[in-house]
Structure 1
Amino acid sequence: MTATQRLSSRQRQCLQALAEQGEWPARRGDFGWKGSAGQAGWAPKTRELLASLAALGLAADESTITVAGSINYSAGSLTRSTARARRYTITDKGREAARRDEQRP
């Protein structure tokens, strides 16, 4: 069984959008997608779908974690917070799966 046969229709549509866009998120657009993909029914579930594609090796999770700290001198305490910048790219395996999916009748 190939990866595209195991994909749900939402995963396939998300993979196609990622293949067209190359990476997620876009600088501008709805739900991180340029064009009509941002209005697709699956778009609100983008992060979940991309994580599942990454688990299959069809996308690469290139997210980064930023640690920020601040010192509150009046209270003498140090406060740290972390933030994750999400970024996904399509892998060669993902491009091949998207191409195969486009060629299916």
Structure 2
Amino acid sequence: MKLNEFVSNVKGRPQTYFGRRKMSSLFDIGFFIEGYEYAKRTVGQEDGFDKFFRSEFPKFVRKKLNDDPLNFEFWFETIDRYANDSDEAANIFFSFFEEFYAMYESKTE
């Protein structure tokens, strides 16, 4: 399954992946994606978008939020700092992801 399909599935049916109707925090999907991507790299199934996501999505998030962290943090930690609650954090992530994926698609056409 491609990362964009996976994220779309999680957005539509988080209970399938997390056992509840919604994520308790953005860390749920953040760490899940990190593990998912690591597994794909380990078995040699990483595609172009996976590589692009890993290298560019954290920068994209910081740019969208006008953030310049002093220390390393995961992209989901950055979003979480800016959100008022876990629902808003999830909405920000899904919105950013869709925009980021559309940008990638336009570059590869």
| Range into which the TM-score falls when normalised by the shorter chain | under 0.3
Instruction: Please identify the structure whose Cα radius of gyration is greater.
Output: 1
TM-score, L = length of structure 2:
0.27
Higher helix share: 2
